[in-house]
Amino acid sequence: AQKVTQAQTEISVVEKEDVTLDCVYETRDTTYYLFWYKQPPSGELVFLIRRNSFDEQNEISGRYSWNFQKSTSSFNFTITASQVVDSAVYFCALSEVGYSTLTFGKGTMLLVSP
Amino acid sequence: EAGVAQSPRYKIIEKRQSVAFWCNPISGHATLYWYQQILGQGPKLLIQFQNNGVVDDSQLPKDRFSAERLKGVDSTLKIQPAKLEDSAVYLCASSPILAGVPTGELFFGEGSRLTVL
């Protein structure tokens, strides 16, 4: 069975601090996708990134970066120089390749104060 | 491009009453999902459709929940009779298919928040 664990329930930082959100996953599949979604107070889940299990290259997109380590089954998300607009709940998710049902973690609430 | 549309945004009912939620996915997206998100938790899949066929409904409480996707476009999710523990946000999502395979990138609507008193 697939499982996604986000151990951090809530993180509070001050604007401009860097913050890392942890994600650990379990799967018996050798090929799978990992995702991060952002859920702002409005409630709509917004897709941030999808990584294939064969691609362990780290990715950077502006202030966002992702560190995928298959050896530790982790897919961590770092926000550099956080901003108040980054305040949201962030979900890590997992799916089998070719079968798009996502298994979500419980989410990490990030609060960025001015 | 229009996003996933859901209605109503909010609904308050008493237990044992019934409720229905509607979803219109992104045009051309073959795969449609209903997720239940209880406060403080991640979304949990209720049912997945591909076109108008059910792919996965293993976590749908079929004694009270039903869903349909007539004509492979819009979908409705119904709860009858509702229980207190059904209070949650019901999220609809859609996903495109590429070369016959779901891409795995889900586009979510804003959700329908249900409160059961």
pLDDT digits (tens, 9 = 90+) for A19-74: 999 999 999 888 888 999 999 988 889 989 888 888 888 888 899 999 999 999 99
Contact yes or no for A18/A78 (Cβ under 8 A): yes
Look at residue B26 in the predicted model and tell me its pLDDT. 94
B42:A98 CB<8 A? no
Per-residue pLDDT band for A17 (boundaries 50, 70, 90) equals very high
Tell me how long chain B is: 117
State the virtual CA torsion across A6, A10, A15, A17 in degrees, nearest 10.
-50
Residue A25 touches chain B, beta carbons under 8 Å: no
3-state secondary structure of A85: helix
CA dist., res. B3 & res. B24, Å (int): 9
Look at residue A97 in the predicted model and tell me its pLDDT. 67
What values do phi and psi take at B5, rounded to 5? -105, 135
Residue B74 touches chain A, beta carbons under 8 Å: no
Mean pLDDT of chain B: 92
- B111 CB neighbours in chain A (<8 A) are 43-44
Per-residue pLDDT band for A88 (boundaries 50, 70, 90) equals very high
A105:B56 CB<8 A? no
- B91 CB neighbours in chain A (<8 A) are 45
B42:A97 CB<8 A? no
Residue B5 touches chain A, beta carbons under 8 Å: no
Residue A24 touches chain B, beta carbons under 8 Å: no
Nearest to B32 by CA among B3, B89, B66, B73: B73
Look at residue B97 in the predicted model and tell me its pLDDT. 79
Mean pLDDT of A79-98: 91
Look at residue A83 in the predicted model and tell me its pLDDT. 96
Look at residue A99 in the predicted model and tell me its pLDDT. 62
Tell me which chain B residue has its CA closest to the CA of residue A38.
Answer: B108
B106:A98 CB<8 A? no
Is residue A6 scored above 90 in pLDDT? Answer: yes
Per-residue pLDDT band for B13 (boundaries 50, 70, 90) equals very high
Residue in A101, A104, A106, A109 to test binding to B, most B beta-carbons within 10 Å: A101
CA dist., res. A51 & res. A95, Å (int): 10
Residue A50 touches chain B, beta carbons under 8 Å: yes
* Amino acid, single-letter form, for residue B8: P
Q: Is B73 exposed, middle or buried (0-12, 13-18, 19+ CB in 10 A)?
A: middle
CA dist., res. B69 & res. A66, Å (int): 36
A42:B110 CB<8 A? yes
Q: Residues near A44 by Cβ (< 8 Å), separated by ≥ 6?
A: B3, B108, B109, B110, B111
3-state secondary structure of B85: helix
Contact yes or no for A94/A25 (Cβ under 8 A): yes
User: Considering just the CA atoms, what is the radius of gyration of chain B in Å?
Assistant: 14
Mean pLDDT of B73-91: 96
Is residue A75 scored above 70 in pLDDT? Answer: yes
Look at residue A98 in the predicted model and tell me its pLDDT. 61
Residue B1 touches chain A, beta carbons under 8 Å: no
Look at residue B66 in the predicted model and tell me its pLDDT. 97
